[in-house]
Chains A and B, each alone.
Chain A
Amino acid sequence: NAGVTQTPKFQVLKTGQSMTLQCAQDMNHEYMSWYRQDPGMGLRLIHYSVGAGITDQGEVPNGYNVSRSTTEDFPLRLLSAAPSQTSVYFCASSYDLAGGRSGELFFGEGSRLTVL
């Protein structure tokens, strides 16, 4: 059972480089989202999508882009990496729109990004 798959698990970038974190889910979930996890800050929502072709900003969207061309995939793009983007990134999906009524989000294992 694959669930939510994130790649890569680890990545080191230099300031100014770009990269894409990949996220794929095989549960036919409409809702997908990206969070970053930082010490003492908990989880903060970056971007989310309620279906193919629809994306919206979360709490901390600056410096990140997303797109949703299929139900399965929701990549997160860093256009010009900065040290402040050093973090652990989690992709999550849900059966209910916006993780709403059931409240249950299914998380990937995370991608640890270091920006030097």
Chain B
Amino acid sequence: GDSVTQMEGPVTLSEEAFLTINCTYTATGYPSLFWYVQYPGEGLQLLLKATKADDKGSNKGFEATYRKETTSFHLEKGSVQVSDSAVYFCALNPRTGANSKLTFGKGITLSVRP
């Protein structure tokens, strides 16, 4: 079945460090891929998305490129801030029909030190 695998966490970085969070997926067909972020005490919110191979999603300095050849959608940011401390979820929608639903990874906690 469809699945999303995220790297193990948690991740702790110093402010202004480079961030990479790995995400790989398994899906039939041509899924859409997403990154959601959950700030402390809040619900999840969409960070960025990509709907086809080689698309790059970007938002708030974060980027992720849909790589079909490696079935990956790694999240990157060149210089993290303390305010980026949150839980990050990779997700996919298999787009196999009208009722296809989002499948989430387990999430990874990022802590950024001043």
Which residue numbers of A lie inside 8 Å of B, CB to CB? 4, 33, 40-43, 45, 48, 50, 56, 58, 90, 92, 97-101, 103-110
Contacts and interface: CB of A to CB of B under 8 A. Distances in A.
Nearest to B106: A42
Interface of B: 32, 34, 36, 41-46, 49, 51, 89, 91, 93, 95, 98-102, 104-107
Contacts of B107: 42-43
A31 B34 CA distance: 18
B99 A50 contact: yes
| Interface residues of B, dominant DSSP | loop
A90 B44 contact: yes
Most chain A CB within 10 A, of B32, B42, B43, B101, is at B43
17 contacts: A42-B104, A42-B105, A42-B106, A43-B89, A43-B104, A43-B107, A45-B101, A97-B98, A98-B100, A101-B95, A103-B32, A103-B49, A103-B102, A104-B46, A105-B46, A105-B102, A107-B43
